[in-house]
Structure 1
Amino acid sequence: MPPDPAAGVATKLQTVETGIGDPATPASQLPNLGEAQQDLEAALVEDAGLYSRVSALLPEPVRSAVASDVTAGVDLERLTPPRPTLPPWHIVAPAPADELQRDYREAEAAFGVPWAYLAAIHLVETRMGRIRGPSTAGAQGPMQFLPSTWARYGQGDINSDHDSILAAARYLHANGAPADMAGALYHYNHSALYVDAVSRYARRMLADPRAYLGYYHWQVRYRLTGGRVVVLPVGWHNP
């Protein structure tokens, strides 16, 4: 019988979470830490038994942070089924993390929507702007607006991170944010799974703003039928 990988996964997760959360960690190490965090948690999303064993080995607060991320990942897998073919996307490098932070904060100041909810939507929708291309429903831009919704709430360029983040805050505010974030998110995407996933990522960033620096480095992973997962790197293009 092969050895149980749970102990090794738990050790790696603790190292990764500690590194992301430590202000002394050099910025040059954050890309590898963020990608490792994503890979380790993705394995736990796919294997509930492994997750249970790993969770039992993790200390707090790492255990709670990982539990929240894994639950969000399960939500999103249930929301978005695997596809038979790769999408018509172009994967680009995201804008710098501090530049996006300024955009989220500007939107928060203008509309009262907590910055972390905007970052969480950006993460879920396009991995912080890495994905360029329409959704299966025809939504566009870094925050994935239908053209009809953009016509009402957008100002500027639907493909601009700054303009689409402001538009998302404007839309959420018009639908009850910040007083009713869950209700506003449900207007953004009519799914309780979506609301839960975005809220979990947002709450984690509000509790620990450095969590954003891990999420920022998450890559575009695309699930295909048959259980295959493909990482779409920067520069990938499927016309």
Structure 2
Amino acid sequence: MKALAWVVAAVLLFIMAASVGMITVGTAAVVPAITEQVRLDPCSAIDPSSATAHLSTSPTTGFSLPKWGSPRHQSLHSAAQTIPATVKALYVAAANRYKIPWQLLAGIGMAETRHGRNNTTSSAGAQGLMQFMPGTFASYGVDGNGDGKKQIHNDADSIFSAAHYLVASGVKKGTSGVIKALWAYNRSISYRNDVLYYAWAYAGKGGVVVDAADPDECLPGDEDLPGLDAPLPGFDGVCKPSHSSAEHGLRRTAIRGLRCIHAAFPQIKSMGGRRSSSSSTCSYSDHCKGLAVDFMIPKWSTKAGNSFGWRVARWVQAHAKALKVKYIIWDVKKWNPAGGKGWRPYRHPYGNTNPTLAHRNHVHVSFNS
């Protein structure tokens, strides 16, 4: 037992000694207008020239974060990658709530799943963007997106739960607290050093942040998308009433848009219009303003259904000016007139966890007032 005690003491001493530097980083408050824009169009937060995701932030509370030590493993051969804009927004929001650096959460997200790019269940059973074991999530999981549920595979819940777990593990108790909290998260010295290395990189004071797939995917270029050669219905500007209850509560431009699209594609039998102002999505959804319509695609999960959805989306795109279209979302892609002809990757604020959130089963069209 004495030998074991000496080994434990040596490990603890090494952990404490590895804190060879300090960095002060700040939790940040996201400017509401920027957050709204990022929710509507994640790619708008990505600067293609630097291939780095940015949000407008301002420091509020200093936080001492120890510098990485040795050994490292993952970060030696895999540099920090750019963060998808919606994921970074969640890191910042969780950091604001729990008063910790968003860079620390980003370091964990990079080390665990590359910010959700490799979001599969681990061999040990860890799940979600921040890789929680189900038992740990049951004890420390929180509702990050305010939908009344705690879901291990929901990105918001995963990130907010990680922040909650770090605080519960003592991350705010100085340098030793950060080290102990990361040890609680994953009992590996190299893992802790990888996380800290990545955190310093995202703070702009460590290693480089390399380009990942996301920024390139946000550049125009949709030659491979379906529907380019499919014949589209004509448009004479005469749009008769649809007799759909979805017209109720819509603004004038949305009513006309609904009628015109339905007239061109009568195969669409189900549509969704205005939502109650009490909906949890009203902070960013045009549905609550009566300026958006969802066109449900028949047999959307089949190849034929997907192609039909693209015909609808292409038709709306072709007549966007006449219909006063603000933007279109379909099949995890988004298009808006200001962005040119290219379709960009789309990610729902609550994650693309089901066909509705990912817009695989309906074409969403928002209209200008």
Q: Give the residue type in structure 2 aligned to 1:76.
A: Q
Counterpart CA distance in 2 for 1:164 and 1:28 is 28
- Deviation at 1:128? 0.6
Q: Which has the greater radius of gyration?
A: 2
Of residues 184, 188, 192, the one that matches 1:187 is 184
3-state SS, counterpart of residue 172 of structure 1: helix
Where does the alignment leave 5 or more consecutive residues of structure 2 unmatched?
1-45, 54-66, 77-81, 143-149, 215-369
Measure the CA separation in 1 of the matches of 2:213 and 2:185: 22
How far apart are the structure 2 equivalents of 1:130 and 1:207?
Answer: 22
Q: CA deviation at 1:174?
A: 0.2
The residue number in structure 2 matching 1:88 is none
Q: Which residue of 2 aligns with 1:157?
A: 151
Per the normalisation by structure 1, the TM-score is: 0.51
Residue in 1 that maps onto 2:47:
27
Aligned length: 142
Displacement after TM superposition at 1:209 (Å): 10
Deviations 1:44-95 (A, max 9, x none): xxxxxxxxxxxxxxxxxxxxxxxx99x78x52389xxxxxxxxxxxxxxxx9
Change (3 A) 1:146 1:217: same
Q: Give the secondary structure class of the aligned counterpart of 2:73.
A: helix
Compared with structure 1, are the counterparts of its residues 96 and 185 closer, same or farther at alpha carbon in structure 2 (3 Å cutoff)?
closer
Alignment equivalent of 1:217, drawn from 212, 219, 222:
212
Which structure 1 segments of 5+ residues have no match? 1-25, 35-67, 79-94, 220-239
Alpha-carbon deviation of 1:28?
2.4
C-alpha change, 1:163 and 1:217, in structure 2 (3 Å) is same
Structure 2 distance, partners of 1:202, 1:196, is 10
Question: Structure 1 residue 178: deviation in Å?
Answer: 2.6
1:177 pairs with one of 171, 178, 201: 171
CA RMSD of aligned residues (A): 3.6
Quote the Cα distance in structure 1 between the aligned partners of 2:171 and 2:116.
23
With over 3 angstroms needed to count, the CA separation of the structure-2 counterparts of 1:140 and 1:216, relative to structure 1, is farther
Letter aligned with residue 98 of structure 1? A
Q: Which has the higher strand share?
A: 2
Equivalent residue number for residue 17 of structure 1: none
Residue 143 of structure 1, aligned match among 127, 130, 133: 130
In structure 2, give the amino acid aligned to 1:131.
N
| Structure with the larger helix share | 1
TM-score with structure 2 setting the length? 0.34
Identity of aligned residues (%): 33
- Whole-Å separation in 1 of the counterparts to 2:94 and 2:126: 21
C-alpha contact (below 8 Å) 1:112/1:173 kept by paired residues: no
| Residue in structure 2 matching 1:199, options 196, 207, 213 | 196
* Distance (Å, rounded) in 2 between the aligned partners of 1:216 and 1:108: 24
Relative to structure 1, is the Cα distance of residues 203 and 134 closer, same or farther in structure 2, using a 3 angstrom cutoff? same
